[in-house]
């Protein structure tokens, strides 16, 4: 598999729900805008053919960072079974310390690894390792090292200095750096077999990571994911929530309405860059999901196919957002997908 090199590359929140089958998206995978609110501008005096400067809050700007995750440190042992052990951990993501929980299979290894990106939980009530407890244990029991990322501002992690206004770019950075931290760790990780698994908001984070750092991992799997168009998520989860009017106004003051600042909103949408993804993607979604409508995953799968990505959409009749009776079936599908991608 092609490995991504952690140097500067050259080159959950989402678009208004239109009710159409294929909303949003501008140009062949690259946001453009010509109005006064454009967030992608050519520097003054530059040649018209010069590459535009990306907005500092964008997937393109994140792509230009050097990812240097390291310092994975085991803390308290929190669970031990016949097959695996779990620990509270910390690692470095840029200048921040990020907490998490790590499942390590018993034995010498090396073992394949997964980084887990959890869904939205209010940071004020979030506890270390919350959100993908079942998945972490499932992987640990089956011979995978599983690193559950708490994200900045969650659990024991350093605060999110953006106050949430980085539109999940920081969470994406933390997940990418988690992969680097696992590889830098002297534990039993097989560096050549690493995948990403995300749920709900974390599914969007995984999509972001795949477009920002192609070649970093072997595959990505997303459960009940948010939309791959940023303004759809904004409208669905934030604007429509009367208790978050202040957040809505703050975001709109900073970045403008999606219809008025197309370049910015497309610039934080993974779908704008699907043609950069080099890894296979598995999407799992229940037909009865009333949190993230299944149409989002169907639209995302079609957009990935059009971009030439190897994508599989697995649907689960009657299954809801959290996955209940069909959880083991879905996880078995995920493990088989990862095993093939890592072979």
Burial of residue 34, with CB atoms counted within 10 A of its CB: 0-12 exposed, 13-18 middle, 19 or more buried: exposed
Kindly give the pairing relationship between strand 84-93 and strand 96-105: antiparallel
User: In this predicted structure, what is the pLDDT of residue 241?
Assistant: 85
> Where do the structural domains in the chain lie, given as residue ranges?
70-229+269-342
**Residue 99: helix, strand or coil by DSSP?**
strand
Q: How far apart, in whole angstroms, are the C-alpha atoms of residue 138 and residue 132?
A: 10
Mean pLDDT rounded to a whole number for the chain = 88
Share of the chain above pLDDT 90, in %: 83
Q: How far apart, in whole angstroms, are the C-alpha atoms of residue 279 and residue 178?
A: 18
Q: How far apart, in whole angstroms, are the C-alpha atoms of residue 116 and residue 308?
A: 25
- Whole-angstrom Cα Rg for the chain: 19
pLDDT digits (tens, 9 = 90+) for 187-227: 999 999 999 999 999 999 999 999 999 999 999 999 999 99
CA distances from 158 to 45, 46, 173, 176, 326 (A): 40, 39, 14, 17, 35
User: In this predicted structure, what is the pLDDT of residue 49?
Assistant: 53
User: In this predicted structure, what is the pLDDT of residue 46?
Assistant: 38
User: In this predicted structure, what is the pLDDT of residue 292?
Assistant: 98
Task: Categorize the per-residue pLDDT at 229 as very low, low, confident or very high, splitting at 50, 70 and 90.
Answer: very high
Q: Would the pTM of this model clear 0.75, i.e. be above it?
A: yes
25 touches 266 (CB < 8 A): yes
Tokens of 166: 């980085």
155 touches 131 (CB < 8 A): no
**pLDDT above 60 for 33:** no
Distance from chain centroid for Cα 301: 16
Instruction: Read off the pLDDT of each residue in 104-119 and give the average, rounded to a whole number.
Output: 97
Tokens of 192: 């050549």
pLDDT digits (tens, 9 = 90+) for 130-168: 999 999 999 999 999 999 999 999 999 999 999 889 999
**pLDDT above 70 for 294:** yes
User: In this predicted structure, what is the pLDDT of residue 243?
Assistant: 82
Assigned CATH for 70-229+269-342 = 3.40.50.1820
Kindly give the pairing relationship between strand 111-117 and strand 145-149: parallel
16 touches 232 (CB < 8 A): yes
pLDDT digits (tens, 9 = 90+) for 66-106: 999 999 999 999 999 999 999 999 999 999 999 999 999 99
Q: Report the DSSP beta bridge partners of residue 87.
A: 77, 102
Instruction: Read off the pLDDT of each residue in 167-183 and give the average, rounded to a whole number.
Output: 98
End-to-end CA, the chain:
10
**Other residues' Cβ atoms within 10 Å of the Cβ of residue 82:** 6
Q: How far apart, in whole angstroms, are the C-alpha atoms of residue 35 and residue 221?
A: 37
User: In this predicted structure, what is the pLDDT of residue 242?
Assistant: 81
Task: Categorize the per-residue pLDDT at 244 as very low, low, confident or very high, splitting at 50, 70 and 90.
Answer: confident
């Amino acid at each position: 598999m092609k490995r991504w090199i952690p140097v500067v590359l050259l080159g959950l929140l989402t678009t208004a729900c239109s009710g159409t089958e294929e909303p949003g998206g501008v140009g062949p995978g690259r946001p453009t805008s010509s109005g006064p609110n454009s967030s992608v501008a050519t520097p003054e005096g530059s040649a018209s053919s010069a590459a535009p400067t990306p907005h500092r809050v964008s997937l393109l700007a994140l792509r230009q960072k050097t990812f240097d995750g390291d310092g994975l440190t085991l803390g308290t042992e929190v669970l031990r079974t016949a097959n695996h052990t779990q620990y509270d951990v910390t690692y470095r993501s840029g200048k921040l310390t990020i907490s998490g929980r790590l499942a390590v299979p018993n034995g010498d290894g090396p073992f394949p690894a997964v980084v887990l990106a959890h869904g939205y939980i209010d940071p004020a009530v979030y506890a270390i390792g919350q959100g993908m407890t079942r998945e972490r244990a499932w992987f640990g029991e089956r011979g995978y090292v599983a690193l559950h990322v708490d994200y900045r501002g969650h659990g024991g992690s350093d605060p999110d200095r953006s106050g949430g206004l980085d539109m999940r770019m920081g969470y994406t950075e933390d997940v990418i750096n988690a992969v680097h931290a696992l590889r830098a760790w002297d534990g039993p990780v097989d560096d050549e077999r690493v995948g990403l698994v995300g749920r709900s908001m974390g599914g969007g984070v995984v999509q972001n990571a795949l477009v920002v750092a192609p070649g970093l991992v072997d595959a990505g799997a997303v459960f009940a994911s948010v939309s791959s168009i940023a303004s759809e998520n904004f409208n669905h989860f934030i604007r429509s929530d009367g208790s978050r009017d202040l957040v809505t106004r703050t975001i709109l003051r900073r970045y403008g309405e999606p219809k008025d600042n197309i370049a910015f909103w497309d610039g934080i949408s993974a779908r704008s860059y699907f043609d950069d993804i080099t890894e296979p993607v598995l999407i799992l979604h229940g037909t009865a999901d009333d949190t993230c409508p299944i149409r989002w995953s169907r639209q995302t799968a079609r957009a990935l196919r059009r971009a030439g990505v190897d994508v599989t959409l697995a649907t689960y009749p009657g299954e809801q957002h959290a996955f209940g009776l069909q959880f083991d079936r879905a996880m078995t599908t995920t493990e088989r997908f990862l095993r093939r991608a890592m072979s």
